[in-house]
Amino acid sequence: MVNNLKTVTPEELGFSSKCVENFIDTMEKHKICLHSFMMLRYNKVGAEGYWKPFDENTLHRMYSVSKTFVSAAIGMLADEGKISLNDKIVKYFPDKLPNGELQPYIADTTIRDLLVMATPYSNVTYGLEFNDWAWTFFNTPTTHPSGTIFSYDTSGTYILDVIVERVTGMPFLQYMRKGLFDHIGFSKDTWCIKAPEGYSWGGSGVMATTRDLAKFALVFLNGGKFNGKQLISEDYIKAATTKQIDNNTEGMNYLWSYGYGYQIWILDDGAFAFRGMGSQLAICYPKKDFLFVCTGDTQGNTQAERMIFETLWHEIIEKLSDELPADTKAYNSLIERCSTLSLIPIQGEDKSKILESINGVTYTLKDNPMQISKLSVNINGDEGVLNYTNPRGDKKLHFGIKKYVECGFPETHYFGDTINKPLNRMYRATSCAAWTEAQKLVIRSFIIDDHLGNLTITLSFKGNQIGVYMHKTAEFFLNEYEGFAGGYIE
């Protein structure tokens, strides 16, 4: 990754160091689990921060921000004249079509229909039960004419990136290397998780750094240019970042009801956003020449995006002005704060009066959805281990007390760089615990690998009995860690 972004003080860009610190305070106060953020204006960085263990070199899962990368690749191909947005998609998939009649509406579906999330489906067509995701798009019963109604459909994005890969003969990120990435200093080791049949999972799988995302978003904020060089046509960028279809189909949502472009969410007052699960965001305000980028894992927190937007607006956007006077004290405070960011520990106590009576004691569990037969907790000082047995063997989950401890999550059958193919190693994780009541220990584990997720384990002790509740938020994994259990001392 080339760091070709100039960093200055926030005040030089018309916003205050104190307000940036207020933004951080609000995120942490409301337990918004961000991993990074950047604030840029006039193509310069005014603020940047990373919550340990993440840093500027972390290749972070972009989730649905990946869709905008696919849109850029489509725009580049169209600029070269190798495709047209009016092309019927069946043209590119003769080998995936059914032997009999096509599903209704498929024959008329265009590349543009997929760009604006107006596929003929009400939901994604693929799933883990399929090993040919492209085939499912042409062999699933349709529900309505394409191009008519907005319906968020990641399988449509997948078809778009497969078109790019079939036309170019290479992964879509590799195709973007020469014409875009090398010009903006994008990480050489960026990559994309693959679908079962080997094509890139362009709807969700891009891995990139926060600075990569900022530079990519600047191309859109600047009408397709970077450092004055036109990399994607201005016409395509203008269409991609303005309303192409109404998306207010399920009632008012003031954040996301202003329309949809080409794999881009349109916001109020000419703003637009790249948006991925877990608060992967790039929010562009062209009228202010301002860009906000963040990564995180806020899966399960339904208020996270709203809190990010509202805090950003009230602390930064609505206060933007011309250059402010230097504020060395506030700036130094911000720099110090950003250098010490780390994931927020669970609120609670570090000790409990019952610890001695339960420490190292094995509990036998009754039949439960997790299929855990027994468990014990061993705490020594400010670290501990949850020992448990499930059908895959004896497991150990390490955690810190009121601090996060990095470890491997004790399963090896989850997917790696290709969906439906086991990784055969543990995911990297970081886990923390605290006593939220005298008899209740809560453990939170964040998966911080190429796939992101979080698991909360609540253990409540009552005499010689234990109550257990596990809740996960993750896509395609941790499914075995969901539900209630009860047990007693062996």
Domain boundaries, the chain: 10-339, 355-489
User: At 241, which amino acid appears?
Assistant: T
Query: Taking a C-beta distance cutoff of 8 angstroms, is the pair 193, 54 a contact?
Result: no
What whole-number distance in Å separates Cα of residue 304 and Cα of residue 301? 6
What whole-number distance in Å separates Cα of residue 453 and Cα of residue 451? 7
Closest CA to 242 of 223, 217, 255: 223
Within this chain, domains 10-339 and 355-489 share the same CATH topology: no
User: Would you say the pTM of this structure is higher than 0.85?
Assistant: yes
Q: DSSP 3-state assignment of 369?
A: coil
**What is the dihedral sign for C-alpha 276, 157, 68, 203?**
positive
DSSP 389-456: EETTEEEEEEEEESS-EEEEES---SB-SBTTSB--SPEEEEEEEEEEETTEEEEEEEEESSSEEEEE
Q: Largest alpha-carbon pair distance within the chain?
A: 73
Assigned CATH for 355-489: 2.40.128.20
- Residue 207 CA: distances (Å) to CA of 66, 186, 193, 409: 8, 11, 8, 20
For 282, phi then psi, to 5°, come to -135, 110
Domain 10-339 is of which CATH architecture? 3-Layer(aba) Sandwich (3.40)
What whole-number distance in Å separates Cα of residue 414 and Cα of residue 423? 6
Closest CA to 455 of 482, 436, 435, 422: 482
**At which residue do the structure tokens 């609000």 appear?**
26
- The pLDDT tens digits along the chain (490 residues) read 567 899 999 999 999 999 999 999 999 999 999 999 999 999 999 999 999 999 999 999 999 999 999 999 999 999 999 999 999 999 999 999 999 889 899 999 999 999 999 999 999 999 999 999 999 999 999 999 999 999 999 999 999 999 999 999 999 999 999 999 999 999 999 999 999 999 999 999 999 999 999 999 999 999 999 999 999 999 999 999 999 999 998 776 678 889 999 999 999 999 999 999 999 999 999 999 999 999 999 999 999 999 999 999 999 999 999 999 999 999 999 999 999 999 999 999 999 999 999 999 999 999 999 999 999 999 999 999 999 999 999 999 999 999 999 999 999 999 999 999 999 999 999 999 999 999 999 999 999 999 999 999 999 999 999 999 999 999 999 999 999 999 999 8
Q: If phi over 0 gives left and psi between -120 and 50 gives alpha, with beta otherwise, what is residue 393?
A: left
